[in-house]
Chains A and B, each alone.
Chain A
Amino acid sequence: MHFLAPMLLLGLIAAVLPWIIHRIGRRRARPVRFAAMELLMRAEREVSARRRLRDVALLLARTGLAAALPLAFARPFTEVRSDLPAVTTHSQSAVIVLDDSASMRRRLHRDDTPFDVARARARDIVEHLSPDSDIALVLASEGSAAPVAELSGDRARVSAALASVAVTARRADFAAALRRAAQVLTGSTRGDRLIYVISDLQATGWEDVTPAMLSAGPEIVVLDASGGAPWSNRAVVGLGAEPAPEEGAHGIAVVAEIANYAAEPVHGLGITLRLDGNEVARGFVDVPAGGRARKRFVHTLSGAAHQAEVVIDHDDFALDDRRACRVEASRGLRVLLVDGDPRTVRTEDEVFFLEAALRAGGSNFSVTSVLPDDLANRDLASYGAVFLANVARPNAAIAEALTRYVEKGGGLFISVGDRVDADAWNQTMKAVLPQPLGLKRSASALPGTRPEGETVDTRPAERLAPIDRRHPVMAAFPARGEGLASARFFQFLLLAPVPEAATRRIVLRYENGAPALVDAEVGRGRVLLLTTSVDREWTDLPIRPGFLPLMQEAARYLAAAPTGDATASVSVGGKREIALGTEDKRIEIVKPNGESRWLSPAAHAGEQRARHVVVFDETDEPGLYRVRGARADGTVDERPDAAFAVTLDGGESDPARLADDKRPDRAGARAAGPAPRRRLELWHTLGAVVIALVLAESLLTLRFRRGRTKT
């Protein structure tokens, strides 16, 4: 121990004062000859033990106080070996890259987190660097802004920025952070330019850091903030919903995928399903070591959309022990087929292949087939999708019902054929047709002799152009469109040209460039227009392997059928587009923590679509985000159909550490030099001791006086 003002230690002599005063007080005691000695001795026996203990405690407190005061004024300190690398002793330009990604939120021993450790080490570096050094502060999480984006000699500013930084739920992106740090250092003229990366060294986030990037950049020093303890994590890495026909029309199965990142298997891991905040099911799941397991909860829903959340027994990283998604009742799985060309021979019926495809095992569609004349008697709102197959000419009532149905969110599939009266369609169904129908066209090309095409029909035929898998309907198909490529189209309708619109997309084209399948957003609903038939009259598509998935995906797409993560989730930090309802003026987003944000569509957006969509990007925390729509009359309604879940990046749950050979430290010998020493001031502690002793002395004296009156 050392002292800044050792002369003040002479004051330690005062420590003997309480003893001296005590001794003098006893020596100066007045002798008294007293008759009632027996009474006095009895009284003394009664109180002596307690009084002696109190006297000793009081004497010790006063002695300690008399000793601690001069000790504190002498400003004692000790020097401890710092755990910072030796290179921090040099004058330098430094950028601290602080890992604030989700994995830094896990709990270490004593309830602190790797982020707490990392921030403390960053503070050490700021305090320890030589006064003439410049410092900047950059965060490692994906999309984060740099708190101190340029080199600064203002330590107070950097310290304040460090204090205000909060750990996020985002994924780490060290490649971007290192690029940014290197960019900050390019402005420095110093010889020593260093990047200090303080992280838990989780492998996630380092994937894009390439050796080339490291060799070209400044020197990097990595400081481990993981606390050294191995981390065994369990996480809910996936959550989806699928129909559960065994539970009836409203049955739904919520399927959670649990990952176990530990080397030991997990048995009987508790798992709970909550719907709209209420616990509806509990169960257990066994997960193999380093593997995954699925847990399926079956439930019957009422109403439309619901918020589902699965929670497993908590471990040290609680953030990934729950996952949420939006699920919808199976309204969307009810499909209505309108048969525009019914036949007595089933195989020749217009909807024979379509119905067979939708009823195929595992699809779980509830398919109803009706004639066009029966359509007016149907409650369209109870169907997720309506297929109009070769319907000649919808009358005005049907057209109005279909238009209203689509604008309120329904899905409409239109296929054509011999019976379709294009002019009538263009007149009555104009509001929902993606493009006006044109002339019927027969293929001019001869059937190909492609190896996969074993054809018996020798009519001239068109084929499909290479598919674009970016559309959800096509996402399930292989890249080369196997299953669809062999289909031949003998006849099809051309579509009248219209201006480009963001709400309309060509999903499939024929090789001649004519549209085969067109998607359009109409109101809150969707319409798919197939320019050929769904029976074998105009095409052999129905007997091709791709027909079944194409029809099923189209039905799901139109019905917005429950798929959990895929349709209603966004990763932390991502953006979410939310369509306004027909009467909505503004949208309120309620975050999982209860905070809310009001969003209005851009007033001067160029496209019509942009005027009905808001974009929300404050997806900082995983969980369920509720959506409410405000109407012009001031009423605010819940929009469960628009609620969405924000999910954690699965990589942040994986405790795998960055391999040593991939660590970017290149400080080598400089970093490995003798560790610097730092001064640890003790007078603060002694000050606290003085205060404690004063309190103890006061307390004892008070009890002493009270004891005299009570005894």
Chain B
Amino acid sequence: MDAKGDTRAATKPLALDPTDIARLGSMSVRARVIVEGAFAGLHQNPHAGSSIEFSEHKEYAPGDDIRRIDWKAVGRVDRYYIKRFEDETEMRTFLLVDSSASMGYARKGVTKLQYASYLAAALAYLLAQQGDPAGLMLFDEKTRQFLPPRTRGGHIRDLLVALEAAYPAGRTEPGRAVAEVGEIADRRSLIVLFSDLLDAPVDLADRLRQVRSRGNDVVLFHVLDPDEVELPYDEVTDFEGMEPEDARRLLVDPRDLAASFARESAALRERWRQTCLEARVEYRFATTSEPPAEVLRAFLFARQRARR
């Protein structure tokens, strides 16, 4: 994860590895553990009102506008907090998780799809805690499942169940998914895309620009397996593609390609980082070996700092 300049993230608070997270009972537990791990690093109580979108909570004091009291927080912690919003409009969040076959790769540890699901679940959990509506789209070359953003009770459970049940299949087509969400998203919606961006069509960059130009805030989580950063194999290997209709095979000694592969992988990440920079899309990179809580913490911290 890109945590450059993030001194707080470097304090290494309690953050479980993805494999440890995977051993936890259900997605709701995983989401909660990740969120708590992330906020442990931020030295804040996630149940005390930290948020993705509103800038801060402040304990009520005489003279404050009582209309800004966060009643949900009062219900949870039995104390009065004033909710200071950046904008008075409610923000809707769309979590887009790439469920194509390539997201199912893992030599050890968790798959990219699992990892993306953990991050998405943690975000959904956090938003639900704040009473913000969060939606979910699982997609490959088509939309496999879509849950529109809601705040009603039980919605978060449906969302976490859907993430729990996600499986890798089909070809990847994130551009189409982003365009579809862009059609239904209101102005100032937050769109968070989780994908490995391998074999991603070039139209994804255009779609991201279009959605961003409509006033939506867009975050791209680029999730790769460590094997896709540094080729680790040390004997002759017969590689074959994972996605349907990908008939490519390569019989090769990976040691011959390791250095060249690492360069290509770095070039891929750099290309997407530049693309996002130009489109004013926030780019976050993570490998499936990193603790999801740290990735989440770095993301939240960066956004908090950007708001100030």
For window 663-711 of A, CB contacts with B under 8 Å fall at: 707-711
Q: Is A41's beta carbon under 8 Å from chain B?
A: yes
Q: Mark A101-115, 1 if CB is under 8 A from B, else 0.
A: 000000000000000
Q: Which residue of A lies closest to B261 (CB)?
A: A43
Interface string of B239-262 (1 = CB under 8 A from A): 111110010101110011111110
B70 within 8 A of A: no
Q: Which of A25-33, A142-150, A159-167, A527-535 touches B? A: A25-33
- Indicate which residue in A30, A46, A47, A707 contacts B235 across the interface (CB closer than 8 Å): A30
Bound Cα distance from A94 to B231, whole angstroms: 77
Q: How far is the CB of B170 from chain A (nearest CB, A)?
A: 13
| Interface status of B236 (Cβ within 8 A of chain A) | yes
Instruction: For A709, list chain B residues within 8 Å (CB).
Output: 259
Q: Point out the residues of chain B lying under 8 angstroms from A40, CB to CB.
A: 231, 239, 250, 252, 257, 261
- Enumerate A330-387 residues with CB–CB distance to B below 8 Å: none
> B264 an interface residue at 8 Å Cβ cutoff?
yes
Interface status of B196 (Cβ within 8 A of chain A): yes
A28 to B264, CA, bound (A): 27
- Given the interface pairs A38-B199, A44-B250, the reply to whether A32 lies near B233 with Cβ below 8 Å is yes
Q: Is B238 within 8 A of A35, CB to CB? A: no
How many residue pairs, one in A and one in B, have C-beta atoms under 8 Å apart? Answer: 106
- Further 10 A-B residue pairs, CB within 8 A, beyond A40-B231, A44-B257, A51-B256: A26-B236, A31-B237, A32-B238, A35-B101, A35-B103, A35-B228, A36-B198, A36-B228, A43-B260, A708-B255
Chain A residue numbers with a CB within 8 Å of B235 are 29-30
Chain B residues numbered 196-235 whose CB sits less than 8 Å from any CB in chain A? 196, 198-199, 224-225, 227-228, 231, 233, 235
The interface centre, meaning the residue of B243, B256, B261 with most chain A CB atoms within 10 A of its CB, is: B256
Minimum CB–CB distance from B67 to chain A (whole Å) comes to: 51
Q: Which 7 A/B pairs are nearest by Cβ-Cβ distance?
A: A43-B260, A35-B102, A35-B105, A43-B261, A36-B228, A29-B236, A43-B257
Query: With the chains together, A244 CA to B248 CA distance in Å?
Result: 97
What chain B residues lie within 8 Å of A28 (beta carbons)?
Answer: 236
Residue from B240, B257, B268 with most neighbouring chain A CB atoms (10 Å): B257
| B contacts with A: majority SS | mixed
**Is A44's CB under 8 angstroms from B252's CB?**
yes
B143 within 8 Å of A (CB atoms):
no
- CB contacts (< 8 Å) of A708 on chain B: these are 255-256, 258-259
Contact in complex: A33, B259 (CB < 8 Å): no
Which residue of chain A is the closest to B105 with respect to CB atoms?
A35
B265 at the binding interface (Cβ < 8 Å): yes
How far, in angstroms, from A36 to B140 measured CA to CA in the complex? Answer: 16
A39 close to chain B: CB less than 8 A: yes
Query: Assuming A29-B236, A39-B228, A42-B264, is B257 touching A34 (CB within 8 A)?
Result: no
Contact B239–A37 (Cβ < 8 Å): yes
The CB with the most chain A CB atoms within 10 A, among B112, B198, B238, B251, is that of B238
The reply to whether B265 and A36 contact each other, CB–CB distance below 8 Å, is yes
Closest to A54 in B: B256
Given contacts A39-B264, A41-B248, contact A33 B196 (CB under 8 A): no
Chain B residue at smallest Cβ distance from A28: B236
CA distance A32 to B257 in the complex (A): 15
Expressed in whole angstroms, the Cα–Cα distance for A31 and B261 within the complex equals 18
Q: A51-B256, A711-B260 are in contact. Are A39 and B105 (CB under 8 A)?
A: no
A-B contact pairs, 10 of them (CB 8 A): A32-B238, A32-B240, A34-B227, A35-B225, A37-B248, A38-B198, A38-B199, A39-B261, A41-B250, A43-B263
Q: Which of A33, A34, A38 has the most CB of B within 10 A?
A: A34
Contact of A43 among B198, B224, B241, B264 (CB under 8 A): B264
**A705, closest chain B residue (CB):** B255
Complex: A216 Cα to B243 Cα, angstroms: 103
- Measured between beta carbons, the chain A residues less than 8 angstroms from B239 are 31-34, 37, 40
Residues of B within 8 A of A38 (CB): 198-199
Within 8 A of B (CB), among A26-79: 26, 28-44, 46-47, 51
